[in-house]
Amino acid sequence: QKNLQLLSPDQVELAKMLVEMGQTHLFAHWADPGTDDDEKKAFFAQVAKLDQNYPGGLVSYIKNARELLADSKAGNNPFDGFTPSVPTGEILKFGDDNFLNFEEEGVKEARRAAFVLVAGGLGERLGYNGIKVALPAETTTGTCFLQHYIESILALQDASNKIAKDGCEKEIPFAIMTSDDTHTRTVQLLESNNYFGMKPSQVTLLKQEKVACLDDNDARLALDSNNKYKIQTKPHGHGDVHSLLYSSGVLNEWRDAGLKWVLFFQDTNGLLFKAIPASLGVSSSRQFHVNSLAVPRKAKEAIGGITRLTHADGRSMVINVEYNQLDPLLRASGYPDGDANCETGYSPFPGNINQLILELGPYIEELTKTGGAIKEFVNPKYKDASKTSFKSSTRLECMMQDYPKTLPPTARVGFTVMDTWLAYAPVKNNPEDAAKVPKGNPYHSATSGEMAIYRANSRILREAGAKVDDPATQVFNGQEVEVWPRIVWTPKWGLTFSQIKKKVGGSCSVSQRSTLVINGRDICVEDLNLDGALLVNSVNEAEVKVEGTVQNKGWVLESVDYKDTSAPEEIRIRGFRFNKVEQLERTYNKPGKFSLKP
Ligand code: UGB
């Protein structure tokens, strides 16, 4: 009461709201006016921010928290009344006619799309000190994830504009969700690299804020242990992306610019863009309001399962069930083995890779109803079975793939299954944890993420007619991986299979120990026999034909132990580096037609 005189009318309203919501403990220790006054103002500035950043404000947050905490205490199953079953979706096979048709349709649609990268996570499982999008996706060229993503979007933009033939050079917008943990370093990475060739005006950064922590089942807000005038906060999860896109007005801007699709993706999947054109084609052809990209999933793998849930009351939805919930749900629903592989060696539930394609119109319509709020969950760690107190504070969380949970049954929610080798190789686990992954399950480490890029590129070149040697097996950081030839190309060389096929001709061969870097748009590889390292760089105006035999000592892979702190962290976490013994490198930086024939 005594401190009310310090407050502005808005702050007085906030104070009343907190008291009405059972939060008087927040003020119990407040000193009399004259002491800690600046801290008290800072407290209300924080409360105002927490209130503003949650759909419905702190009142809703506290109410939602009480409900979810009561459900959790009572042990209510969020899936009560729902029966899981295996849904049907579009299953694609790389390179067949169906795939090519979807790719073509996807490229056509791409200029009506916007991309959204969720990059607010710190990546605790990976334990890398920098931001994850700054990590090299592969170390042959050292291209980081963010550069690769931007160059892929630009390549798609060019390809889409080229076939549109209306003379309009459309620019694909790119939004990045950051958090306090990643924002400044993401901005620095973009600015110090000229946005990797994208116009800064194409890029929108949206910073997610943390939410208040909760101390008990009454949803009493937790105070910071080091500052009694500060509420403790924690991340709310990637689901924030929807409310941020909505409240920032970005979605309406996109709609007014004539866009139709929004594509969401995560921070460290170096393969993803190989699957984007075809899956966008599926969205467009099948008129999906929601399309989740999926891959075959090994039982117990730490990715969610796409599941059809049918309720006794007739409701039905196709939704991601998170990996820790799938097993109990199945066990409770007549699958005694829970999350188990079927005769294919995989779980019958496709694995969610959290790449979502939403149709913009219905998306805005839905968010207008919900204000961007996504169904949340709470995961308190209780002290004992009475479930009355927590080991440490908790908070509400939300996931972006839970967006369909509020949709009406008429919404067209589908999914697209792609080959894992083509679409999914995230970098999430640190070397130590990756080495403990049961044999046969994916490591999801920097090692496997990089090797997967070489494997995908090698397999794509094979499909395009080249003879690419089988991989060798090697162990790095305790992980056994297939080592394919290190073949890398820039996205503008080939983002779709049909583009790539046109650039690989005659009879080409690449030996297992080879490195091939194609860094230019109009480079044609014909009758090339490569046994060593070859790097070709060219500007857009140069047309280069690469042919003949290239043989040299090449780049040799050397092991690096992850505990060896003399090596840079980016290298250590993958467990190898290249000894660049010998190579042939050619650069064409003038317009014209050229032939590289050693
Ligand atoms: N992220 C944010 O932007 N903000 C946050 O507050 C948290 C994360 P993780 P997770 O790829 O296979 C997801 O930590 O959440 C970003 C799906 O839920 O890498 O454990 C973060 O920067 C799961 O169903 O993954 O699991 C990153 O880009 C499955 O699909 C992204 O959100 C799994 O990913 C994901 O964060 C998967």
Whole-number Å distance, alpha carbon 5 to ligand 1 midpoint, is: 45
According to the model, what pLDDT value does residue 386 have?
92
Residue owning the nearest CA to atom 6 of ligand 1: 237
Pocket of ligand 1 (CB under 6 A): 118-121, 177, 179, 208, 235, 237-238, 266-267, 303-304, 320, 322, 352-354, 399, 401, 426, 428
Q: Whose CA is nearest to atom 21 of ligand 1?
A: 121
For residue 234, pLDDT beyond 80: yes
- How confident is the model over 347-380, as pLDDT tens digits? 999 999 999 999 999 999 999 999 888 999 999 9
Q: Whose CA is nearest to atom 24 of ligand 1?
A: 304
pLDDT at 488 over 80: yes
pLDDT band, residue 75 (cuts 50/70/90): confident
The residue type of 144 is: C
The overall average pLDDT reported for the chain is 95
The stretch 302-321 carries a mean pLDDT of: 88
- CA dist 187 → 199, 427, 479, 586 (Å): 14, 21, 34, 33
**Ligand 1 atom index nearest CA of 399:** 18
Ligand 1 centroid, distance to 294 Cα (angstroms): 14
Mean pLDDT of 223-231: 94
The confidence score (pLDDT) of residue 301 equals 84
The answer to whether 274 and 456 are in contact (CB under 8 A) is yes
pLDDT value at residue 52: 92
Question: Ligand 1 center to residue 241 CA distance, Å?
Answer: 12
* Residue that has been written with the tokens 């080879």 in this structure: 514
Q: Residue range 269-290: average pLDDT?
A: 97
Q: What pLDDT shows up at residue 173?
A: 98
Query: Which residues lie across from 390 on neighbouring strands?
Result: 382
- Contacts with 3 (C-beta within 8 Å, 6 or more apart), sequence order: 27, 30, 32, 33, 40
> Does the predicted interface ipTM exceed a cut of 0.95?
yes
Q: Which of 53, 118, 182, 301 to mutate to test the pocket of ligand 1 (most atoms within 8 A of CB)?
A: 118
User: What average pLDDT does range 414-420 have in this prediction?
Assistant: 94
Structure tokens at 362: 């219905």
Question: Which band of pLDDT confidence, cut at 50, 70 and 90, is reported for residue 211?
Answer: very high
The residue assigned the tokens 């042919």 is: 547
Top mutation candidate among 236, 266, 307, 443 for ligand 1, by most atoms within 8 Å of CB: 266
Q: What pLDDT shows up at residue 76?
A: 82
Residues 495-553: tens digit of each pLDDT: 999 999 999 999 999 999 999 999 999 999 999 999 999 999 999 999 999 999 999 99
Mean pLDDT within 56-68: 96
d(CA 345, CA 308) in angstroms, rounded, equals 21
Most ligand 1 atoms within 8 A of CB, residue of 238, 306, 324, 430 to mutate: 238
Q: Which of 29-33, 142-146, 427-431 has the lowest mean pLDDT?
A: 29-33
Ligand 1 center–CA 110 separation, angstroms: 24
* Chain position carrying tokens 């059972």: 22
Residue 480, pLDDT score: 97
Distance between CA 177 and CA 12 in Å, rounded? Answer: 32
- For residue 2, pLDDT beyond 80: no
Tokens of 458: 């090698």
Model pLDDT for residues 161-204, shown as the tens digit of each residue: 999 988 899 999 999 999 999 999 999 999 999 999 999 999 99
Calculate mean pLDDT across residues 299-312: 89
Per-residue pLDDT at 138: 98
Q: What pLDDT is recorded for position 218?
A: 97
Closest ligand 1 atom, residue 267 Cα: 28
d(CA 371, CA 362): 14
> Given a cut of 90, is residue 325 above it in pLDDT?
no
Residue 386: is it exposed, middle or buried by C-beta count within 10 angstroms (0-12/13-18/19+)? Answer: exposed
Name residue 321's beta-bridge partners.
305
Ligand 1 centroid – CA 491 distance (Å): 24
CA of 336 to the centre of ligand 1 (A): 29
3-state secondary structure at position 275: helix
Rounded to the nearest angstrom, the distance between the alpha carbon of 452 and the centre of ligand 1 is 20
Model pLDDT, residue 485: 98
Are the C-beta atoms of 394 and 213 separated by less than 8 Å?
A: yes
Is pLDDT of 283 > 90?
A: yes
pTM: 0.95
> Rounded mean pLDDT of 144-155?
98
Q: Could you tell me which residues come within 8 angstroms of residue 238 by beta carbon, excluding any fewer than 6 positions away?
A: 118, 120, 121, 177, 266, 354, 398, 399, 400
Taking the centre of ligand 1 as the mean of its atom positions, its distance from the CA of residue 585, in whole angstroms, is 39
User: Is residue 461 a contact partner of residue 468, using CB atoms and an 8 Å limit?
Assistant: yes
pLDDT band of residue 273 (cuts 50, 70, 90) is very high
Ligand 1 centroid–CA 385 distance in Å is: 30
Q: Token match 């103002």: residue? A: 41
